[in-house]
Amino acid sequence: MSTIRFAALQETLNRKPVSITEKERRSTLFGQHVFNKHAMQQYLTRTAYDSVINAIEKGTRIDRKIADQVAVSMKDWAISKGATHYTHWFQPLTGATAEKHDAFFESINGGLAMEKFDGEQLVQQEPDASSFPNGGIRNTFEARGYTAWDPTSPAFIYETTLCIPTIFVSYTGEALDNKTPLLRALQAIDTHATAVCKYFDKNASKVNATLGWEQEYFLIDDALANSRPDLVLTGRTLLGHIPAKGQQLDDHYFGTIPARAMSFMQDLEQECMLLGIPVKTRHNEVAPNQFELAPIFEEANLAVDHNSLLMDVMEKVSKRHHFKVLFHEKPFAEINGSGKHNNWSLSTPDGANLLSPGKTPMKNLQFLTFFINTIKAVYENEELLRASIASASNDHRLGANEAPPAIISVFIGSQLSNVLNELENVTKGKLSPEEKTDLKLNIIGKIPEILLDNTDRNRTSAFAFTGNKFEFRAVGSSANSAIPMTVLNTIVAKQLKEFKIEVDALIDDKKLKKDEAIFNVLREYIKDSKNIRFEGDGYGSNWEKEAKKRGLSNNKTTPEALQIKIEKSTIALFEEMKVMNKVELEARYEIDIEEYTKRLQIESRVLGDIARNHIVPTAIIYQNTLLENTKNLKEIFGEEFKNIAKEQIELIMTISNHITEINALTLKMIEERRNAKGLKGLKSAQAYSKKVKPYFAEIRLHCDKLETMVDDNLWPLTKYRELLFTR
């Protein structure tokens, strides 16, 4: 056994769970490190408080004098909690979070020192951000980027630093981050959903999108994980033979959480409580050492921030427990991958869920309106939704018979399907009084009961209605949810805008009553969007054929999937909804393509290195042992050795074959990599996808075969069974 592998195993076997004491009740801890309403009430003047609340609830501007006041109070609050530094906390296009810490401390003349932080530092900063990906935006405009305070997401303290959530934009106003477009999309959905809500409640004033994510992840002992160059450098294993026991016994799912993982979770949850992340559920997932954590849902912008923050906190807490947390969508072949389901809905300020039916027929019609418009929006933009979750790592998961396929479809369950089928028969134009009564009593009147008993679930669907929300299941575990949430809210906003125009036209021109007009438009939408609805098995190959007939896209790789992001229709849509302009969209596309290319390039290099510098030499050492053994047998037994050493001789030949294949395939892969590297943009990404990547599986096959032959004591890489079953 390699010394590294041996040492890692020894270290792991000696691990004990870190003991976690919970001194305070979680409800007492909740939000203690957040500058939330409660803290603001204590620290801000009434005017300042009202101004911040108005900014959060109505999107009004905070004037500079007030910002100064808020800054001073925020600083006092932070220092009282032990903070020494502050940072603008933002989400650049790397998908991760970024921060640059400055001390509050400033030395003033005369040697007198004091802490300083005013509106200027709160509201705007200029991080030296030239090395964040920007897709050429800053070069084009020769402008630097700056970060600006987002008062809708409260400041928080993490590890003695006051973190202020901010957007990150260029001087010419183009978004350089994931938060800015999300905020604009949330503005769009607010505008257009509120306008539609007014049909049902003339006092409707605001609609919030809500998001409840479910984060899946693997926890691997860090000594074991660090012993694998592929895990360290790419976040996934590029090779490794399947262990004798995988997940086939289904004994991990919802089973008892192992002690060390439990201690990590308790520690993590305490941190989350302090940071105001309302984590609620934890459990084992399907694969060994795979887990899931989910919070109570929140307003979408806050929920996205909380997910990004959680991922950072998980990495930090996991170190204390000697774990490495893997967010990669597919860290292990043949073992379930990880996703991040995004549960989405719309709600009014009083907390009413627009995707829940109500007590009156009007409320039920409101439910149907938002329900059907969402389906229509997904139908019209399925390819764009697919693009919003595209990444090199998620490509391994989509369509791998454990996660939704790369085809986007909507599952709503048989009972709601029946409702929509009935609604398809609504009479064109004016409705008779009898028909109205029938609709009221027998069709939409039945919806609340139907949903109470909503046991219909289909785990193979990419986008499923689950009783009072839609669940976008194709999102990857490492993704920043801001990206799919920006697309989803934008397309639904656009759809609702269209809907309002059509309904108003029927009311004004055809003199239909409001509910008649709504039924008429919904009827057409149900017919139009039928092709996106699918209740069957999304994993089967039949569905692929069927989806093709229906004209749905099936973009299996990221380079294919991304194309729609820069189509004319996409640019028009995003510009109309004021979410992103052409420059911003093209910049993001460029960054996505580059990211994909780089990931594959790194994986290919790491695989080549492991195969030729770790696996092949080990195989040769073992082969030499066999040769030595055969030679000795020949010395003792003469020609008789051929019968005695039959196995050894066969093994020597087989090993030789694998070594030859590995070397030849690696050389070919390197050749293809050189070609791919010489190309630009999409061409390069396509070459990596179609010419380089196919070698990964081939090379892996030979390496994994060798793993089953070579003496376990010599094998250099920590094995799957050790990574997955050591606890």
Q: What residues numbered 580-639 form the site for Mg ion, per CB under 5 A?
A: none
Mark 210-229 with x for binding to ligand ADP (rule: CB under 6 A) and - for no binding: xxx-x---------------
Q: Where do we find the tokens 């993490």?
A: 158
CB 203 to ligand ADP: min, Å? 21
User: What is the closest distance, in whole angstroms, from the C-beta atom of residue 246 to Mg ion in the complex?
Assistant: 23
Smallest distance, ligand ADP to C-beta of residue 306, A: 11
Nearest-angstrom CA–CA distance, 286 and 397: 14
With CB under 5 to 8 Å by kind, the binding choice for 519 among ligand ADP, Mg ion, none is: none
CB nearer to ligand ADP: pick between 307 and 381? 307
**What are the structure tokens assigned to 629, written together?**
């053994």
CB of 30 to ligand ADP, least distance (A): 16
Distance CA 186, CA 299 (A): 10
Judged by CB under 6 A, does residue 466 bind ligand ADP?
Answer: yes
Phi then psi for residue 422, to 5 deg, are: -65, -40
Q: Which of residues 32, 194, 266, 468 is near ligand ADP by CB under 6 A?
A: 468
Please report, as residue ranges, which positions from 212 to 231 form the binding site for Mg ion (by CB under 5 A): 214
Complex with ligand ADP: residue 168 or 297, whichever CB lies closer: 297
Stretch touching ligand ADP by CB under 6 A, among 57-65, 343-351, 363-371, 614-622: 343-351
Residue 240 binds which of Mg ion, ligand ADP, none (CB < 5-8 A, kind-dependent): none
Minimum distance, C-beta of residue 303 to ligand ADP, in the bound complex (Å) = 8
Which residues, 6+ apart, have CB-to-CB distance to 133 below 8 Å? 92, 93, 94, 591, 594, 595
Binding mask 269-308 for ligand ADP (x = CB under 6 A): -------------------------x-xx-----------
Taking the complex as a whole, how short is the minimal distance between the CB of residue 419 and ligand ADP, in angstroms?
A: 20
SS3 at position 710: coil
> Which H helix or E strand runs over 561?
helix 558-562
Q: Which of 345, 366, 481, 520 binds ligand ADP (CB under 6 A)?
A: 345
**Which part of the chain contacts ligand ADP (CB under 6 A), choosing from 181-189, 207-215, 308-316, 704-712?**
207-215
Q: What gap in Å lies between CA 606 and CA 246, rounded to an integer?
A: 25
**Is position 341 an interface residue for Mg ion (rule: CB under 5 A)?**
yes
Count the residues of the shown chain that bind ligand ADP, applying the rule CB under 6 A: 14
Within 552-581, residue ranges assigned H as helices are 558-562, 568-576
Q: Which of 182, 490, 189 is nearest to 308 (CA)?
A: 182
Backbone angles phi, psi at 586, to 5 degrees: -65, -35
Q: Please say which residue, 156 or 297, places its beta carbon nearer to ligand ADP.
A: 297
**Do the Cβ atoms of 585 and 571 come closer than 8 Å?**
yes
List the x/- string, 299-338, binding to Mg ion by CB under 5 A.
----------------------------------------
Kindly indicate which of the ranges 206-214, 259-267, 354-362, 494-502 contains the residues binding Mg ion, using the contact rule CB under 5 A: 206-214
Q: Are 710 and 622 in contact (CB under 8 A)?
A: yes
CA 24/CA 272 separation, integer angstroms: 14
Tokens of 103: 């001390």
Phi-psi region of 432 (alpha: psi -120 to 50; beta: other; left: phi over 0): beta
- In angstroms, the CA 74 to CA 165 distance is 13
CB-CB contact of 472 with 463 (8 Å): yes
Cβ atoms 552, 463 nearer than 8 A: no
Closest residue to ligand ADP in the complex (CB): 212
Give which of ligand ADP, Mg ion, none residue 294 binds (C-beta under 5 to 8 Å, depending on kind).
Answer: ligand ADP
Q: Identify the CA nearest to 485 among candidates 308, 679, 653, 276.
A: 308
Contact residues: Mg ion, CB under 5 A: 214, 341
The binding site for ligand ADP (CB under 6 A) comprises 210-212, 214, 294, 296-297, 343-345, 353, 466, 468-469
